[in-house]
Amino acid sequence: MDYCGTDDARELSEMAIDIWMDYYSRFIDPGMVEYIVRRFQSEEAIIDQINKGYLYWFIMNGDEKAGYACVVPDGDSLFMSKLYVSRELRGSGLGSKTMDDILDMGRAMGKKKVHLRVNKNNKASIDFYKRKGFVITEAKKEDLGEGYYLDDYFMANNL
């Protein structure tokens, strides 16, 4: 797998806008979706994350960029920060294969678990993570600023 560099940040950010607005606006206020993308998935934010050790890569469908993923080594675990597939290819198995790759990556790094956070209203993703062996370990509501709150489950898969 080829990791993205800071020169890929603009393309990652453009992909984030498309995927986030399409997917998350179904169960999160669209204003909050825009705020999250602007704050955490802008070109500048992605460059900062890459410079801090976040490992981004494009999810490929043949020669086509079909989405992206990102992990962060975190002590004895691997934090899955992002796993997003374009609307046209959701349900194609690309997300499942990418999750398997992330779990394998955690094992290869000698990590004890892979963990993530997911919005409580994101039922499809929660069900997907459960099928992949993740369990809910915590629920947390966090002030994001500008009147928005993250209301998430934390999930983990012990490797």
Output the domain CATH number for residue 125: 3.40.630.30
pLDDT for position 118: 97
- Chain mean pLDDT for the chain: 95
The answer to whether residue 1 is domain-embedded is: no
The answer to whether residue 61 is domain-embedded is: yes
- Structure-token match 């797998």, residue found: 1
Instruction: Tell me how many domains the chain contains.
Output: 1
> Would you place residue 33 in the very low, low, confident or very high pLDDT band (cuts 50, 70, 90)?
very high
Is the model's pLDDT at 91 over the cut of 90?
A: no
41-57 pLDDT tens trace: 999 999 999 999 999 99
Token reading at 36: 């999250």
The answer to whether residue 144 is domain-embedded is: yes
The answer to whether residue 141 is domain-embedded is: yes
> Would you place residue 35 in the very low, low, confident or very high pLDDT band (cuts 50, 70, 90)?
very high
Higher pLDDT residue, 1 or 24? 24
pLDDT for position 19: 94
What burial letters (b/e) apply to 31-67, b meaning 16+ CB within 10 Å? ebbebbbeebbbbebbbebbeeebbbbbbebeeeebb
The answer to whether residue 130 is domain-embedded is: yes
Is the model's pLDDT at 1 over the cut of 90?
A: no
65-83 pLDDT tens trace: 999 999 999 999 999 999 9
Domain span holding position 82: 6-158
Cα 152 to Cα 49: distance, rounded to the nearest angstrom:
21
The answer to whether residue 13 is domain-embedded is: yes
